[in-house]
Structure 1
């Protein structure tokens, strides 16, 4: 009976059997399923349409490939780099794994033949051969896993070092959070997003390279065994499946990017609760914060559930096309030696030996399974590519923002009717005094606080700044420190190392007691200046804080000093820090609010005796006697600078 008659008889049996009803029901369910999926995909596109106009996050297009190549040049800097060596080694292991799979397939076929022929000695011999392949195969599999993780951490480290170098150059770390509003949560971008991008990139290389190698080598082997039509049928089926999957796949990259933004917002809510816990507690704002945090979490949960639903439907189609459809096609290929056009030659070659047919079936099915898996991985890897596209957009955006800020460019939503635009710039001139000449005090978004400000503070002109909250006192220091843009006018100022700023709540990083005093110097820098721990102890004695040296275990003691010290002690540490650096000008912003007046007066007098010019913002009238000039703001854009005592 010819092959055509076999097929015709099978179809007639199918039509006349009860399986016909099951098949018909399955086709109907599949059509309804596809219609439902298409409707969901369309609604997803509509809901994401307004975002897609602004950004192409997660889209695998020409722009994505440009971005990923640009980022790969950072993590793989040259052909001689360690990352390139690991990529070459990974490629070699991938080839070795495929060749081992082909050899193991042949051994499996021989084992089955030995079982069918009941040859025990041959069976044991084949088992020993299989065991000999176990050692190199296990080493190769472990090596692939090791190199994938190794590359991921190398990619992460390279990208993190690169972005950190830009982020912590000059004042860019401040400007990204306070001037530019393109990236809401830089901490999320420089930690989790980089980590996930590196893992995606490392895994994607294996997920694409390994299937390509498998497809080439397994197809070549199968062509020799069953004819070229076998691999062609399988590859053709997966090609058709790939087109269908690409058509119905939702924008997972865009959804992934949005998920990361939601996670960053949730993390920011939790950080706000920690950083402003005292103020929230006074307001009894726990219920409001709970609603805010829960609403943000609900948004994350809803978005993830939406992704899971889309993955559920997508996984169903993946399974139908890649798994079950490919299985039917594979059985057709496996039947080619027996039912195909060259079956007479095949039977003549094996002598109609059933054990040989069994051997060849096991060997070919093993090769075919590996080929199908390889093509399937390559087809569904498009989803991994979309995830990589989402993370690539986030990392590339951070890189672009850092480069823009390094070139003095920032993007921020300006207030309606703002007088100054972002391109307006004044001039900074290095001098041995401080002078504002026709300088407007303007926030980065164009909020005008003071139209024109002109005054001069020379060494010895200790200035007391007064005014209501929000009048521009702190804004003045931000412009002086070049934190905020100078939209017009001229500012004369000494170099930054001759200016020192102490806020009301000083920054005490986790570290040793010595590091709190000499921050941001290192111990080597301190010793290079000729200072030692005995000198630091004298400074601590001046601010009346020498008792904590012994209580806390000396200058080497490492603690979380924000929790260990009281508010007054933390302010004393900051004032001791100022004594260590000995600047020409000291900006003291409510820095003694938790210190007793007698200690405060003693420290202020010591500053003056050491030639430090004081610029103080405080509500304590008792500090006026240590100053000889006043800069007073009225809160409505007016100001006055005048002398109260002769310069001292």
Structure 2
């Protein structure tokens, strides 16, 4: 309510009436004060009418994004997997404001606000003081409003003008206080977000947790949880303190002030009414948190479909799949639209009860409260001016009291919104905690089963032995060796029952076989990306084992940063430009520095169009040459480069003493290897030294390990047609 406009209008009407009907001035003032109380009680649409700030916060509650990708949502997609079924079941978990929420909320709050003796503690103390000052100023302004009305009714111009000036002076500290409250609250929001984000970054971006969360999908849409959900939780949690603390202080102080003019019946009646409203609203309220949760999940499906489409724009256009994608996106959009319409209808239906209970019910309570003060013994002794001032003062206090109680009631809606974010962030926390627990158990198992390890075991990844979270063991050594290791995917698909092979320095291993036979799966186990179900894996520490994929990751930063990745050039010492240039030259990429706009310090969109796919593969090999590990895993790493460049890349690996474990379908690569691990696609394999026949066939000279023990010690030729011929 605009109190200045209301008071000006009140003054004009009262002054006019005083000229003709002075005896009725007190009654007029009383009536106007009552109307103002009733209007202000319903001000800001406690639930009816315009949405309040708390309602808007609750409307954003619990953004649970899609547990499925755009391809998963396709009506022609494969049967639902167990992982997908688990995701959809998790999406149906109802978000409630209950004991579990309180426990999880305070768990996150301890991370966001670790101790009172901190910067956040100072912010909280400052915010508390500002809120107390704001309440005191509200009391003073209410008193001045009554004084203005009194001066009007008394028709004393100069005292009235002086009161206006005093009120204007009081508005200065009130404005400063309001601004200070917003500023300190914003500081708390930023601090909460910083602490939470740094905490989860530290746990999430580790060797043991990152791929399990993202690559294996143990929790959906980690990016949204780490960014948007944490930000919204921080904003709402920091604002929650003000939403609770100030109304409570207001209720206590305003009730005490109102009681001076008619006892505690008036505030008691207001509190009792809103208590009844709270109970009824709680009983009648639909599950807005769960409904909004579902809506945000569908919105996530729709957004995920667009994100997926952007990632494969060229492929979709070349395959003329626009119509198919349009149909899929329209279906996802209409599903989200139907849910939004359902929520709007439910909200409108609920607003009927809100209007009856709060808006119009408050008018009736306002009349009753004013009547209590009107008929008090103290009021009967006052003249018309004093009576008008008294009732305008008390009505303002009652209005503020009603606002405070209403704000406290509506805090429940804000809490319902926070419950959604808390649920999603704690899902991420529980997922990471389970991974950390499995890693810790695996390390203990590895330590007990292998009391002696290689001297460089301390340099291993912090997830060393993580892959042994089931029944297997990973130890650090000077070689790569699999001993009776089952190749089992996370969805329990058995690819190989028991795989055994070894790679020692100087042995360049070629891994061949049809798609889906277990080639890349073997590397995932070696990289500890999949849980190990049994057997034993020996591997060098991570600084001596480097992976070069078919689609290399291009980080942000300068050209120097691209070459030294995953290190940062600014954190390295004694790295000269000549060394970096030698790495580029060995990869056949030295001419990149001759291009316009490219220099050592150039920060381009390296993952975009700054380099072709083949040049990105060369840059990934330059990284390999910079780090010079003992072993390198090459997964189709030269598929986009010319054959002559490919020969140069492999020769550079030999010159640097790097032992290779290679997956490659291009036969031009095979000649650079002297051992092979050949999969047949039916769960079988053979491991043997390698030669090439004049026809270009693979000659396994003497099988060392095989799924069929009868083949051990035999010589086998794998023809270009895929057949295996036993050599007598």
* TM-score > 0.5 by shorter chain: yes
Contact kept? 1:185, 1:265, Cα under 8 Å: no
Q: Paired residue for 1:439, among 485, 489, 496?
A: 485
Alignment partner, residue 167 of structure 1: 204
Report the CA distance shift for 1:360/1:94 in structure 2 as closer, same or farther (over 3 A).
same
* 1:347 equivalent in alignment to 2:374: no
Partner residue, 2:290: 254
> Aligned with 2:669: secondary structure?
helix
- From 420, 430, 434, the equivalent of 1:390 is 420
- Counterparts of residues 202-221 of structure 1 (less than 5 Å): 202-221=238-257
Task: Name 2:656's counterpart in structure 1.
Answer: 610
After superposition, the Cα gap between the structure-2 partners of 1:478 and 1:522, relative to the gap in structure 1 and judged at 3 Å, is same
Query: What is the CA–CA distance in structure 2 between the aligned matches of 1:139 and 1:425, rounded to whole Å?
Result: 64
Residue of structure 1 aligned with 2:590, choices 546, 552, 556: 546
Q: What's the CA shift string for 1:578-630, capped at 9, x where partnerless?
A: 00010111111111111111111012111101100111111221222211111
Q: Secondary structure of the equivalent of 1:641?
A: strand
Per-residue CA deviations over 1:54-85 (Å, capped at 9, x if unaligned) read 86543111111111111111111001121122
Give the structure 2 partner of residue 264 of structure 1. Answer: 300
SS of residue paired to 1:556:
coil
The number of residues matched between the two structures is 580
For residue 376 of structure 1, the aligned residue among 392, 406, 425 is 406
Contact 1:257–1:394 (8 Å) recurs in 2 = no
Q: State the match for 2:577 in structure 1.
A: 533
Question: How far has the Cα of 1:557 moved from its partner?
Answer: 0.2
Name which of structure 1's ranges 575-584 and 562-571 shifts more when overlaid on structure 2: 562-571
Candidates 96, 104, 116, aligned match of 1:67: 104
Q: Partner of 2:178 in structure 1?
A: 141
> Per-residue deviation at 1:223?
0.3
C-alpha separation between the residues in 2 aligned to 1:473 and 1:570? 23
Contact 2:208–2:439 (CA under 8 A) maintained in structure 1: no
How far the C-alpha of 1:171 sits from its partner, in A, is 2.7
Residue in 1 aligned with 2:431? 401
The equivalent position to 2:163 in structure 1, one of 102, 126, 129, is 126
Aligned to 1:413: none
The structural deviation recorded for 1:573 is 0.4
Residue pair 1:431, 1:493 contacting (<8 A) in 2 also: yes
Q: Structure 1 residue 185 and structure 2 residue 221: aligned?
A: yes
Cα drift, residue 95 of structure 1: 1.2
Partner SS for 2:115 = coil
CA distance in 1, matches of 2:289, 2:235: 15
Distance 2:303 2:663 in 1: 34
Cα pair distance change 1:82/1:317, threshold 3 Å: farther
User: 1:160, CA displacement in angstroms?
Assistant: 1.1
Structure 2 equivalent of residue 417 of structure 1: none
- Specify which of 506, 509, 518 is matched with residue 463 of structure 1: 509
Match of 2:259 in 1: 223
**Structure 2 residue 576 is matched with structure 1 residue 557:** no
Separation in 2, partners of 1:381, 1:52: 30
Matched with 1:41 is none
- 2:396 equivalent to 1:366: yes
**What is the match of residue 92 of structure 1?**
129
Instruction: Return 5+ residue gaps in structure 1 as ranges.
Output: 1-49, 411-420
Distance 1:634 1:278 in 2: 33
Do 2:266 and 2:373's aligned partners in 1 also have CA atoms closer than 8 Å?
Answer: no
Measure how far apart 1:500 and its partner are. Answer: 0.9
1:422 shift after superposition: 10
Provide the C-alpha distance between the structure 1 equivalents of 2:527 and 2:468, rounded to a whole number of angstroms.
Answer: 18
SS where residue 653 of structure 2 aligns? helix
Q: Which has the higher helix share?
A: 1
Quick one: distance in 1 between partners of 2:579 and 2:470?
Answer: 47
Unaligned runs of 5+ in 2: 1-85, 441-466, 692-700, 703-728
Most deviating of 626-635 and 309-318: 309-318
DSSP 3-state at the match of 2:640: coil
Do the aligned residues in 2 keep the contact of 1:257 with 1:391 (CA within 8 Å)? no
- 2: distance between equivalents of 1:272 and 1:357? 70
Report the Cα distance in structure 2 between the residues aligned to 1:52 and 1:169, rounded to whole angstroms. Answer: 28
Q: CA-atom RMSD, angstroms?
A: 2.3
From 591, 614, 625, give the equivalent of 1:568. 614
Q: Distance in 1 between matches of 2:349 and 2:493?
A: 50
Partner residue of 1:31? none
* Partner-residue secondary structure (3-state), 1:225: coil
Report deviation, 1:180.
5.0
Deviation readout 1:304-354 (Å, 9 max, x if unpaired): 33223322233332233222211221122112233x3x33x4322x2xx11
1:5-39 deviations in whole A, cap 9, x for unaligned? xxxxxxxxxxxxxxxxxxxxxxxxxxxxxxxxxxx
- Look up the match of 1:82: 119
